[in-house]
Amino acid sequence: MNEIERLQHEIARRIPDVNMVPGTPPRVRHGPHWLDVRLGERHIVIEWRPGKGFGVSDETPPSEGGYGEGPGEVFRYRAAVLDRVAALLCGAP
């Protein structure tokens, strides 16, 4: 199980009503992994790059950013990303 899969399980435990869709697995071994996370009208995209950490983009309302701009926030540790996702989705600290 990789880090994005671990994070997916932790989000599901913490926010039971969340809807998550993993992205297509990367073509290269150490490529990025993606996870779309939705709760009601809230939409977050999480990217995990091995050796670099997690990128979080709040897509609520839908982003008008361009392709390749990168995530809005970057976190090194899974626990920090879990807290941030909970805050974005639920308003939790």
pLDDT tens-digit readout, 68-89: 677 889 999 999 999 999 999 9
**What is the arithmetic mean of pLDDT over 26-48?**
92
The whole-chain average pLDDT of the chain stands at: 89
C-alpha atoms less than 13 angstroms from C-alpha of 70 in its C-beta half-sphere: 7
What is the structure's pLDDT at 27? 87
Q: Is 70 left (phi over 0), alpha (psi -120 to 50) or beta?
A: left
DSSP 90: H
